[in-house]
Amino acid sequence: MSMNLVAPSPPDLSPTHPDPAAGLDAGDADRRGHDGASTALRNYFRYHGIYAPGVRLMRAMSVRGKATLLATAFMLPLALALHRLFEHQPHDPQEMTLLLMSIGFCLALALYMLLSFYRVTHGGLTHLKEQVGRMASGDLSMRPQPWGRDEVAHAMHSLGQSLGRLADLFAVVRQGVAASSHASREIAAGNHDLARRTAAAAAAIDQVLAGVGQYIEQLDASGLRVDEAEAVVQRMRLDAAHARHQMTQLDHRMQALQSRSREIVEIVALIDNLAFRTNILALNASIEAAKAGEAGRGFAVVAQEVRSLAGRSAESARRIGEIISGSTDDIAQGHVLAGEAAQALRQTDSQVERIHDEMQQIVGLTRAGQTSSQEILAELRRLGELTQENHRLVDQMALASNALSAEGERLDDTVASFKLV
């Protein structure tokens, strides 16, 4: 009897080559019907030859059961034969021949079971090794079907479940990598757009800073002009006060001149009265001198001279009165004009005071504007620094996003090397 100790390659588990003992459910062949059972038997004999019954039996048993069966197959016939030899000691050649044939048959049967065990174990382990090798090479698409119910079949079943879970895991990982790569590209695009917008914002802030700087320079120049105008208004205010004081002094002097003019008019009136009286007295003296004749001629000449002097004095007093009267009118008119000028100066001084107050407000507003502009400029500079920092962070994010995208692509290439379906 020829015995092949090397088990053939396990049958293909595809639907075109079904394994007769595939699955842990022993009733699969019964559920497929009589045709399925006949096909299974033919496949058993096709792949395993004369070892098909032993292989079928061994696949239905655990390793412990197989070891017990093999030990019993070897030891029990030998024990019975030895017991028969030592107890009964047969001397009949036919009986001895029958005993030896029985022992040989039992040993042949035990050897048959041992070879079946070897084929089952070697075939299952070889198939398990091939499946593990395919898994190690990255092929997760196979789903090995267990043969029988022994530990190798359970290991094959666990391997199939593990491969299914690994395939699901790698599918999820591939989806996650694809989503991560897509998100990385989106982030990269967003970072690029954000970098562009940040650069534009930085440029705009620089322009605003330049404009604010020019505005502050103009505001400083305006502040200098306002200070100069305020100084001019202050000088006008002082000049107006000095002019008002001078006009007050002039008014007082005009009043004093009016008073002195009235005194002079009174003195002129007194002189005119004295001249009139002197003229009367001289006339009387002339009359008396005429009455005295030659004796009063010299006195008459003196009286005539006195009358002449009194007339000239009266004329001079009259002329002085006229001059003083005209001067008094001029002084009165000057006093009126001085009053009007003083009133105008008071109004001007009031207007200058209002202008001074308004200039003070303008100066305050200008200085407040300068302070606010300096604060705005400082805030804009801080904003520019923050924008530059954001730009640097965006660049770092872009680098990190590109690195993440590259890592995702490498991970995708690694995952793509595994065959899932």
The CATH number for 264's domain is 1.10.287.950
Q: Are residues 349 and 210 in the same domain?
A: yes
Whether 5 is in a domain gets the answer no
Are residue 93 and residue 187 in the same domain, yes or no?
A: no
In a domain, 14, yes or no: no
* 190, 206, 370, 371, 375 from 379: Cα distances, Å: 28, 12, 14, 12, 6
Q: At what angle do helices 151-292 and 297-416 cross, to 10 degrees?
A: 180
Classify residue 13: in a domain, yes or no.
no
DSSP H or E run through 93: helix 93-136
In a domain, 161, yes or no: no
Q: What is the pLDDT of residue 148?
A: 64
3-state secondary structure of 328: helix
Domain match, 235 and 379 both: yes
**Same structural domain for residues 298 and 400?**
yes
Q: Are residues 199 and 101 in the same domain?
A: no
Q: Which burial class, exposed, middle or buried, applies to 350 when counting CB atoms under 10 A from its CB (0-12, 13-18, 19+)?
A: exposed
**Domain shared by 191 and 275, yes or no:** yes
Are 321 and 387 in a shared domain? yes
Q: Are residue 91 and residue 144 in the same domain, yes or no?
A: yes
Domain boundary among 149, 165, 196: 149
Query: Rounded to 5 degrees, what are φ and ψ at 249?
Result: -65, -40
Residue 396's CB is within 10 A of a number of other CB atoms, namely 11
* Contact by Cβ (8 Å): 419, 139: yes
Residue 11 lies in a domain: no
Residue 141's φ and ψ, nearest 5 degrees, are -85, -20
Domain shared by 191 and 139, yes or no: no
Same domain, 263 and 355: yes
* Spacing of C-alpha 190 from chain mean position: 13
Residue 158 placed within a domain: no
- pLDDT computed for residue 24 by the predictor: 35
Nearest by Cα to 59 from 46, 48, 72: 48
Q: What is the pTM of this model?
A: 0.41
- Kindly list the distances between the CA atom of residue 417 and the CA atoms of 134, 159, 410, 413, in Å, as whole numbers in the listed order: 12, 20, 11, 6
Domain range for 186 is 182-416
Q: How far apart are CA 302 and CA 299, in angstroms?
A: 5
Report the C-alpha gap between 148 and 80 in whole angstroms. Answer: 32
Tell whether 83 is covered by a domain: yes
Virtual torsion, Cα 234, 239, 245, 248, nearest 10 deg: -120
As for how many domains the chain has, the answer is 2
Q: Do 188 and 129 share a structural domain?
A: no
* Identity at 35, one-letter amino acid code: D
Tens place of pLDDT per residue across the chain (421 aa): 333 433 343 443 333 333 433 333 333 434 444 455 556 556 656 655 666 676 666 666 666 666 677 767 667 766 766 666 666 555 567 766 776 777 777 777 777 777 777 777 766 677 777 777 777 776 666 666 666 666 666 777 777 777 777 777 777 777 777 777 777 777 777 777 777 777 787 787 788 778 777 777 777 777 777 777 777 777 777 777 777 777 777 777 777 777 777 777 778 788 778 777 787 877 777 777 777 777 666 767 777 777 777 777 777 777 877 777 777 777 777 767 777 777 777 777 777 777 777 777 877 777 787 787 788 878 877 877 887 787 787 777 777 777 777 777 777 777 666 665 5
For residue 77, how far is the Cα from the chain centroid?
90
Same-domain check for residues 266 and 197: yes
In a domain, residue 198? The reply is yes
